[in-house]
Amino acid sequence: MSKQELKVLGRSDDVGACCSGLLTAPLDEDQAAELAKVFKALGDPVRLRLLSMIASRAGGEVCVCDLTPAFDLSQPTISHHLKLLRQAGLIDCERRGTWVYYWLVPEMTDRLAGILTRPAGEPLPARTAPAGAAS
Amino acid sequence: MSKQELKVLGRSDDVGACCSGLLTAPLDEDQAAELAKVFKALGDPVRLRLLSMIASRAGGEVCVCDLTPAFDLSQPTISHHLKLLRQAGLIDCERRGTWVYYWLVPEMTDRLAGILTRPAGEPLPARTAPAGAAS
DNA sequence: CACTTGCATTGATGACTGTCGATGCAAGAT
DNA sequence: ATCTTGCATCGACAGTCATCAATGCAAGTG
């Protein structure tokens, strides 16, 4: 339940590896394609809420049966969104008896946060009085 | 060129304000919908590459004429992607003579990075030996 | 003025996505 | 074994999206 499924991310090193930041050097096509899959998984309000419910849960994991009733959506739809989040490497899950529990993969959110963080003390080219503006 | 267009984000306070983190408390529907628009804008490889090209540019801004030839896509398509990034609040632009220049809005990427960052020294509920596993 | 160049907008189209009901499957209960 | 419950998968359908060619518009050039 936790290790089959097409591993969307990384062909080899996966989560921990890769690129410093999107803001410091132009992404190449492969990096961009890989990253886009993760951001696309975050690009839906239902999945964002699911992720935040899972991530903020004391104890670190949530049973699907606690997630589904929080939405005005069918159970297959929630299951589908959870699958996408898992394929993006943002969460993982495990069956335990009758129930399935999900938890956050913090390495992935850490990686995204790092990618979106600009190196401290950047020049920050004073975007206020654009040089030769059309005056 | 820089201030019309439907302001996708914030109804009032916009970028700087809002929520602490997606990882600490469940997002409500409005926050999730708002955030999802920004992540959706990042969920495309072309837009990610555009953003990284703009953000990493020395001088802080890029002319569209420098961006378009870097892709195997038509000029209207690039223009469309730039529009989406701008509507998401990630970049802004200005016409200067014949050319249009784009630059990063670092407040937005900062905000996203913050949202994806978990509070330091979190319990990190030892996901290794799942309690009552199906043994 | 007409002509050219840089970029945005429009309209069309094929591909993808979110959603559902129906179904399948695993595991505990009887 | 049969029934029930929890969740995933399947197939279908409507809505959204990425892309293009055609066109429009702004601004510099002759």
pLDDT at A134: 35
Residue B134 lies in a domain: no
CA–CA dist A126, A129 (Å, integer)? 8
Task: Report how many domains make up chain B.
Answer: 1
Q: Is residue B15 part of a domain?
A: no
Straight-line distance from the first to the last Cα atom of chain A, in angstroms, rounded to the nearest whole number = 62
Query: Tell me, what's the pLDDT at B122?
Result: 59
DSSP letters along chain A, please?
--S-S---S-SSS-TT-S-S-TTTSPPPHHHHHHHHHHHHHHSSHHHHHHHHHHHT-TTSEEEHHHHGGGSSS-HHHHHHHHHHHHHTTSEEEEEETTEEEEEE-HHHHHHHHHHTPPPSS-----TTS-TT---
Instruction: Give the domain range for residue B44.
Output: 29-115
Residue with tokens 């953000």: B55
Question: Which of A15, A18, A23 is the best mutation test for B, with the most CBs of B within 10 A?
Answer: A23
CATH value at residue B111: 1.10.10.10
User: Which residue of chain A comes nearest to B30, CA vs CA?
Assistant: A45
Q: Would residue A106 count as lying in a domain?
A: yes
Determine, yes or no, domain membership for B24.
Answer: no
Residue B1 in domain: no
User: Is A55 within the bounds of a domain?
Assistant: yes
- Digit-coded pLDDT (tens) for B80-119: 999 999 999 999 999 999 999 999 999 999 999 999 998 7
Higher pLDDT, A38 or B17: A38
Quote the mean pLDDT of chain A: 83
| pLDDT tens per residue, range A4-36 | 333 444 334 444 444 578 999 999 999 999 999
Instruction: Estimate in Å the CA A61 to C1' C28 gap, whole number.
Output: 22
- Strand-pairing partners, residue A104, are A91
Domain membership of residue B103 (yes or no) is: yes
The reply to whether A5 falls in a domain is: no
Q: Which residue has the higher pLDDT, A53 or A13?
A: A53
Among the partner-chain residues B56, B113, B118, the one whose CB lies closest to the CB of A26 is B56
* Closest CA in chain B for residue A39: B43
Per-residue pLDDT at A114? 96
Contact B49 A27 (CB under 8 A): yes
Question: Which bases along strand C come within 7 Å of a protein CB atom?
Answer: 5-11, 17-22, 26-28
Instruction: Assess whether pLDDT exceeds 80 at residue A2.
Output: no
